[in-house]
A and B are shown apart, each in its own frame.
Chain A
Amino acid sequence: MPPPLPRRRAVLGGALLGALALTGCGTFSSRPKVREWNLFGGGDGARLLQIHQQYVAEHPDVAFEAHTLAWGPPFYTKLAMSAAGGRAPEVATLHLSRLKGFSPTTMLDPIPTDLLEAAGIRESDFLPETWNRCVVDGKLYAVPLDQHPFVLYYNTEICQKAGLLGADGKIKPVKGVDAFLEMLTAVKETTGKFAASVETTNPWRMWWTLYGQLEGKFFSDDGSRLELDDAKALEALQLMAKLAADGLVPRSANYPALVAQFTNGDAGLSFNGEWEVTTYQTAKMPFSMAPFPVVYDVPKFAGDAHTFVLPRQSNRNQDDTKATVEYIAWMLKHSAAWAAGGHIPSYQPVVSSQEYLSLKPQAEYRSVAPDVLFDPDAWFSGSGAQLQEEAGAAFSGVFSGQATPQAALAQFKAATQTLLDTPSPV
């Protein structure tokens, strides 16, 4: 009989050697690594995969990995925790509206502007208001990739029948509440169901667009007080309630229902962000896009911008950072392919390029870029943050008829005040 002890040791030793060999495979690589986390799960995510394939093919010298996580709180939770632990990926996407709420001084590393310039990206390549939002305490923390406003999708066949298309086959722009309601009524008569599909369970973008078009204020200039204009806020909510009461939009629809109702022709219009282009193109339906109508006084469209950020790493590697900045520059220069997924590029040389201008319908609403209305500036505000959640809870009742506009507004104001009274955790 063989003695038991040596054998056990041999097994242990073998296991250790094996483990060493396995970890060795990962660590002894001389290529700089770029790990990217993003939140693009919709039609835009499919485009991103194609662009990344091209990037990988052109950069065999970079160890590149991309991961798509669930949009909204799940993504930001994971990103925040990885950055809080100092072991974040090299680069991640972040909504520009969330930048200040993401505690840039503790959870992000500033972007080395010298490396960015070396990669051929300059401040003058962007709209000044976009660029300025990326700077916190004099340091650049984000590089804008795109802008994504709330837009109007329209089914060209249905709108043709409803007599809404001009001689050029594009939808005739409407202005003012009455013209807006006339247009919706005409579409409803054609579809026999709804005029437009909207996400009633998350009506923030719709309300913020209408309220913005009324030039309503949200916070005082120093951000310490809520200065909502009740009359304007109510006017926007009452219009939303009227749309639902008249059957022009559904009383209840979540995001998948919004997409489905536009795809299957239950609705001839859709009010949504511009990121579902690929979905409707894949469905091979006749549609086009236009800026959301100016229903009230000024052109304003709720929206946001995707940016690249460097989440905080406790052991930042120079080579990895350089490769990462070069990746960001490459993505900006190839953002015409990204624009095909719906978003308006932030990088102006691409915006004026023929490649982008010939994209239909993606270039049809590019004029609204300067009028994109970002979310209010607060730590609890921005895409998928608490303020939008509170708005969804309060305002969805306006569509479903379970809450009056007055009650919904009172609830939303109380919730916002509570958040404002909470000491900022960032």
Chain B
Amino acid sequence: MAVQTPTRATAGAPTRSARPETGQPWKERWAGLFFVAPFLVLFAVFLLWPTFSGLWNSFFNTSLSGIKGEFLGLQNWREMFNDPAVWSSLRNTLVFTAMSTPPLVVIALVMALLANRKGLLGWLLRFSYFAPFVLPATVVSLIWVWIYQPGFGLVNGLLTAGGFAEIDWLNTENRAMLAVVITTVWWTVGFNFLLYLAALQGIPAQVYEAAAIDGANGRQQLFRITLPLLSRTTGLIVVLQLVASLMIFDQIYLMTDGGPNYATRPIVQYIYQNGFTNYRIGYASAISYLFFVIIVIISVLQFKLFSGRKEARG
């Protein structure tokens, strides 16, 4: 070792000094690939391959049971466009998104404004607003199923104590979705709240100081300074929230199982039922692709709106 070490050092020295002229040695160029390889492999195996095999499967009657699938051409796609359950579950997903996104953004903002203060109260508010977010979907669903229970649930207990009639939240067709939305807001608003809080704390104090010197009151400061400076964060939150709401599955599957009478069944659950409960991977793939296209369209529209506003401001 003692002999080899200096040899290597002297051999290595010219290579290093020569690097700028000859470009990177192959070893180092490959090193870069090695560093991204773990991600690339996972990306290819768990994202690229399933994406293309899903498209491929949508033209076959592939079955989970291992029976050889036959080529169907566009039959799955035709079946999908004529299947009322596809459209009703897609509508449920869109209704959930439309109902859940506004409160999840607005309430998060209000909570962030309230919690953006120093001292014990600020700490307590921050903690209690974010706490539900760390719970798993199963726990949240269990808690809320009991809260909504007619007869002995908390919500109906409050309603009857206030002189109102009981509502069978999870088993009434036009109430169940609202119940799931309330649960979802309670559970996930903490994440958006955190993003808003971080953005709020990023606004320099001297901006407010200058405004105060110019005689701006709290209201004016809120609408003229805080909200405009938060608009980029709002754009980000709306995009993230739309995508998250479109993927709704967990809470609904656990709380209502898509009921009553499929009034809350989202498209993801219908895909799951076809693909896994009924083994029809081919048909489930076709519906997945329809949903994939819709998400892409919504995301592109969102991105256009968002970047357009940024340009207008800049």
Interface residues of A (CB under 8 A from B): 3, 73, 76-77, 80-81, 83-84, 102-103, 106-107, 200-201, 250-252, 254, 256-257, 260-261, 266, 312, 380, 385-386, 389, 392-394, 396-397, 400, 402-403, 411, 422-423, 425-426
| Contact of B54 with A by CB under 8 A | no
Given contacts A393-B262, A402-B260, A402-B261, contact A425 B172 (CB under 8 A): no
B173 touches A107 (CB 8 A): no
Query: What chain B residues lie within 8 Å of A251 (beta carbons)?
Result: 168
Given contacts A77-B276, A380-B278, A386-B278, contact A425 B260 (CB under 8 A): no
Q: What are 18 A-B residue pairs whose CB atoms fall within 8 Å in the complex?
A: A3-B5, A80-B65, A81-B276, A106-B66, A200-B171, A250-B150, A250-B151, A252-B171, A256-B146, A261-B151, A393-B259, A393-B261, A393-B262, A400-B260, A402-B261, A423-B61, A425-B61, A425-B278
Query: What chain A residues lie within 8 Å of B152 (beta carbons)?
Result: 260
Within 8 A of A (CB), among B263-282: 273, 276-280
**Bound-complex Cα distance A80 to B273 (A):** 14
| Contact of B63 with A by CB under 8 A | yes
The number of inter-chain residue pairs (CB within 8 angstroms) is 96
B64 touches A396 (CB 8 A): no
Query: What chain B residues lie within 8 Å of A260 (beta carbons)?
Result: 152
**Bound-complex Cα distance A81 to B66 (A):** 9
A8 shortest CB reach to chain B, Å: 12
**Bound-complex Cα distance A380 to B273 (A):** 11
- Smallest CB-CB separation from B149: which chain A residue? A257
| Contact of B8 with A by CB under 8 A | yes
Query: What chain B residues lie within 8 Å of A386 (beta carbons)?
Result: 273, 277-278
Contacting residue for A84 out of B61, B64, B262, CB 8 A: B64
Contacting residue for B259 out of A106, A107, A396, CB 8 A: A396
**Bound-complex Cα distance A103 to B278 (A):** 11
Q: Contacts A393-B259, A396-B261, A397-B260 given; 10 further ones with Cβ under 8 A?
A: A3-B5, A84-B64, A103-B63, A251-B168, A396-B260, A400-B260, A422-B278, A423-B61, A425-B61, A425-B67
Closest 7 CB pairs of A and B: A103-B65, A425-B63, A106-B66, A252-B171, A425-B279, A77-B276, A252-B168
Contacting residue for B276 out of A73, A252, A389, CB 8 A: A73
A402 touches B172 (CB 8 A): yes
- Smallest CB-CB separation from A260: which chain B residue? B152
Query: What chain B residues lie within 8 Å of A400 (beta carbons)?
Result: 168, 171-172, 260
Query: What chain A residues lie within 8 Å of B262 (beta carbons)?
Result: 393
B66 touches A397 (CB 8 A): no
Given contacts A252-B150, A400-B172, A402-B173, contact A80 B64 (CB under 8 A): yes
* B contacts with A, residue count (CB < 8 A): 31
A388 shortest CB reach to chain B, Å: 11
Given contacts A73-B277, A251-B168, A386-B273, contact A107 B260 (CB under 8 A): no
A397 touches B261 (CB 8 A): yes
Query: What chain B residues lie within 8 Å of A261 (beta carbons)?
Result: 151
B71 shortest CB reach to chain A, Å: 14
A84 touches B278 (CB 8 A): no
Interface 0/1 of B93-126, CB less than 8 Å to A: 0000000000000000000000000000000000
Query: What chain A residues lie within 8 Å of B170 (beta carbons)?
Result: 254
B168 touches A84 (CB 8 A): no
Interface 0/1 of B141-177, CB less than 8 Å to A: 0000110011110000000000000001011110000
B65 touches A385 (CB 8 A): no
Given contacts A103-B66, A425-B61, contact A77 B261 (CB under 8 A): no
A313 shortest CB reach to chain B, Å: 13
**Bound-complex Cα distance A386 to B5 (A):** 71
- Smallest CB-CB separation from A74: which chain B residue? B276
Given contacts A3-B5, A77-B277, A402-B172, contact A392 B61 (CB under 8 A): no
A80 touches B279 (CB 8 A): yes
B64 touches A201 (CB 8 A): no
B172 touches A266 (CB 8 A): no
**Bound-complex Cα distance A107 to B64 (A):** 10
**Bound-complex Cα distance A389 to B274 (A):** 13
Given contacts A380-B278, A425-B278, A425-B280, contact A201 B260 (CB under 8 A): yes
A65 shortest CB reach to chain B, Å: 24
Query: What chain B residues lie within 8 Å of A392 (beta carbons)?
Result: 259
Given contacts A73-B276, A77-B277, contact A425 B64 (CB under 8 A): yes
Within 8 A of A (CB), among B1-26: 1, 5, 8
**Bound-complex Cα distance A76 to B5 (A):** 62
**Bound-complex Cα distance A106 to B68 (A):** 10
**Bound-complex Cα distance A155 to B274 (A):** 41
A265 shortest CB reach to chain B, Å: 12
Interface 0/1 of B55-92, CB less than 8 Å to A: 00000010111110000000000000000000000000
B140 shortest CB reach to chain A, Å: 16
A107 touches B66 (CB 8 A): yes
**Bound-complex Cα distance A80 to B277 (A):** 9
Query: What chain B residues lie within 8 Å of A312 (beta carbons)?
Result: 66
Contacting residue for B171 out of A83, A102, A396, A403, CB 8 A: A396
Query: What chain B residues lie within 8 Å of A266 (beta carbons)?
Result: 151
- Smallest CB-CB separation from A385: which chain B residue? B277
A426 touches B260 (CB 8 A): no
Given contacts A3-B5, A393-B262, A397-B260, contact A426 B67 (CB under 8 A): yes
A103 touches B67 (CB 8 A): yes
Most-contacted residue by chain A among B64, B149, B170, B171 (CB, 10 A): B171
B306 shortest CB reach to chain A, Å: 38
Query: What chain A residues lie within 8 Å of B145 (beta carbons)?
Result: 254, 256
B65 touches A107 (CB 8 A): yes
Query: What chain B residues lie within 8 Å of A257 (beta carbons)?
Result: 149, 151
**Bound-complex Cα distance A81 to B276 (A):** 9
**Bound-complex Cα distance A402 to B273 (A):** 25
B181 shortest CB reach to chain A, Å: 20
Interface 0/1 of B225-267, CB less than 8 Å to A: 0000000000000000000000000000000010111100000
Query: What chain A residues lie within 8 Å of B8 (beta carbons)?
Result: 3
B256 shortest CB reach to chain A, Å: 9
Query: What chain A residues lie within 8 Å of B279 (beta carbons)?
Result: 80, 103, 425-426
**Bound-complex Cα distance A201 to B171 (A):** 8
A201 touches B259 (CB 8 A): yes
Query: What chain B residues lie within 8 Å of A83 (beta carbons)?
Result: 66
